[in-house]
Amino acid sequence: MSKTVAVVGATGAVGLEMLRVLHSRGFPVRSLRLLASARSKGKKLRFADTEIAVEPVTPEAFAGIEIALFSAGSSVSAEFCPLAARAGAVCIDNTSAFRMDPGTPLVVPEVNPHRIREHRGILANPNCSTIQLVVALKPLHDLGKVRRVVVTTFQSVSGAGARAMAELEEETRSVLSKRTFVRDIFPHQIAFNAVPQIPQKAAFLDGGHTVEELKMVNETRKILEEPSIGVSATCVRVPVLRAHSESVNVETERKVTAAQAREALVRAKGVAVVDDPANQLYPLATLAAGKDPVYVGRIREDSSIPNGLNLWIVSDNLLKGAALNAVQIAEHLL
């Protein structure tokens, strides 16, 4: 039952979370290989009670590997996932490299675990914002069939990596002390600000969308296996270190009351309902950070349309939005 496992991108924010999740969930690791760029060669990372030296990513590094967790950027995955798969590994890729490939399953275990068995050596982990959205949508889809979703995200800086988290911290200190700050990650000041979710120097796409917004549109349809669902997304980066928040409006074909939605979400795997506004209880980034569930609250009916619901969804983007979802897929492979 135990497996030989590789973590590609082990020194990054998600890679480090993958190591923690593998250990905390008791994943049966027989041996572990930590891979990263050549500049990290020899760096030692702790797993359980041992320290393991980081090795550079090479085609030869996947010899004997059974499960490879990738989170080192889409170009690395595009090059090395096929090589690792040919060497006999099952690759679980956290980048965008294979998500929309028709032959690659795009999996959230609470939503479409049946797709896992269809893999041909590569399984794709969805975008972090999409994962928490579909975990909350699936129970509602089963009840009333979702027709349209309008989602606005409030995404933490950890989604852009460890350097982005450091940039927010340092820029915050600089703004408060009125010092000049030269940013490297974000196109505008992120401290005390909200910025469209787009990488530095990247262009908006035709129609004014960002790549992140189109990911949510296309991935939601693929995971729910409903290409006709209307999805409108606006993605915003906010000065929060961990956990993404989403304001979601859902329109269903059949009427779903707020009480029915709440009951279904309470029963749903991977969901924690926090919905007591009278006592100031609702999902918060500070609540979700470091926790596994997708938190859902502010469940209420939308009076502007016959079959509408509003939700507030919060989840740790490094855990359920990345590392945890990947390890859960690996657990299904067992």
Residues 22 and 168 in one domain: no
Residues 197 and 102 in one domain: no
Name the pLDDT band for 300 (thresholds 50, 70, 90). Answer: very high
User: For position 312, what pLDDT does the model report?
Assistant: 98
What CATH number is given to the structural domain containing 65?
3.40.50.720
Residues 263 and 287 in one domain: yes
Residues 164 and 305 in one domain: yes
User: For position 201, what pLDDT does the model report?
Assistant: 63
Residues 292 and 327 in one domain: no
Determine the 3-state secondary structure of 51 from DSSP: strand
User: For position 35, what pLDDT does the model report?
Assistant: 97
Domain that holds residue 49: 3-126+322-333
Name the pLDDT band for 87 (thresholds 50, 70, 90). Answer: very high
Residues 68 and 52 in one domain: yes
Q: List % helix, strand, coil for the chain (3-state, nearest 5).
A: 35, 25, 35
CA 222 to each of CA 2, 90, 105, 289, 330: distance values in angstroms, whole numbers, following the listed order: 31, 21, 9, 27, 20
pLDDT digits over 156-183, tens only? 999 998 999 999 999 999 999 999 999 9
The span from the CA of 67 to the CA of 82, in Å, is: 13
The pair of structure tokens assigned to 288 is 């979700």
Roughly how many angstroms between the first and final C-alpha of the chain, as a whole number?
7
User: For position 200, what pLDDT does the model report?
Assistant: 63
Active site residues: 128, 244
What CATH number is given to the structural domain containing 273?
3.30.360.10
Residues 66 and 202 in one domain: no
Comparing 2-11, 102-111, 204-213, 216-225, the range with the smallest average pLDDT is 204-213
Per-chain mean pLDDT for the chain: 96
pLDDT digits over 19-41, tens only? 999 999 999 999 999 999 989 88
Residues 115 and 206 in one domain: no
User: For position 38, what pLDDT does the model report?
Assistant: 87
The span from the CA of 193 to the CA of 159, in Å, is: 16
Residues 112 and 142 in one domain: no
User: For position 205, what pLDDT does the model report?
Assistant: 84
Percent of the chain residues topping a pLDDT of 90: 92
The span from the CA of 306 to the CA of 314, in Å, is: 26
Q: What is the mean pLDDT of residues 243-255?
A: 98
Q: What is the domain count for the chain?
A: 2
CA count, 13 A, side-chain hemisphere, 29: 23
Residues 23 and 164 in one domain: no
Residues 215 and 254 in one domain: yes
